[in-house]
Amino acid sequence: MTQLPKEPVFGEIPQIILGLCGVIIAISAFVLLAPIPLSNWIMGVMAVQIGPEQLPRPFGPYPAFALHVFVHGGWLHLGMNILGLLAFGSPIARWLESSFGTRNGALAFLLIFFLTAVAGALTEGAVIALGNAPGAVLVGASGGLMGLIGVLVRLNYGREYIPLPLFSRTVLMAALPWVGLNVLIAFFGMPGVSAAVAWPAHLGGLFAGMVLAGPFAPRR
């Protein structure tokens, strides 16, 4: 079976990855550096607010389910997600571009990224609602990032070109470390991060990416 080309982790970064990272850095940095009233207004537009409204939502709650990927809770949060997108997003973008062409592959990449980010946000909301937990404000690209990792899991980290069956032993074993990491985060938090980490959004994005890898697979 054809395999993804073996390249350095940060080698040959596709334009769609550079463009997406550039937009995320620009918007996140602007919000982090902006005066508090302006920053709060932008966060009200872009952050997913689960539970009681904590910031005004001038355009309603729904745009934030896609826009929350562009704002972050701090520089460490931003830096970790950008590094993750460069490392894990690049092989997925190359896979899609080799399957559908540069333009269509880039569109497919964005679709996977945003769909998995939305899935992660919905999972976060469902877990909070089921657990009667206090409300939360969800920001960051990590749900979409975990979605890309989910696609890589179906491809057995680039060893396969056609995604493996969703519930195959290889796929489940490849997903296990990411599930375990987020279970640890749920119980112990993340070192150096004072805010609550949205582990349900991570797991929701991961599973959504594993599922979406199938429909976006190249034709045999």
Per-residue model confidence as pLDDT tens digits over 87-104: 999 999 999 999 999 999
| The total number of structural domains that make up the chain | 1
CA angle, corner 156, sides to 13 and 103, nearest 5? Answer: 35
Per-residue model confidence as pLDDT tens digits over 193-219: 546 788 999 999 999 999 999 999 886
One-letter amino acid for residue 89 of the chain: G
One-letter amino acid for residue 15 of the chain: Q
- 5 within domain boundaries: no
E-only strand ranges, 86-169: 136-138
**CA–CA distance, 205 with 147 (Å, rounded to integer):** 4
- 188 within domain boundaries: yes
74: DSSP letter: S
CATH number of the domain at 185, please: 1.20.1540.10
- 100 within domain boundaries: yes
Per-residue model confidence as pLDDT tens digits over 152-185: 999 999 899 999 999 999 999 999 999 999 999 8
- 158 within domain boundaries: yes
**Containing structural domain, residue 134:** 15-212
Determine the pLDDT at residue 9. Answer: 45
- 36 within domain boundaries: yes
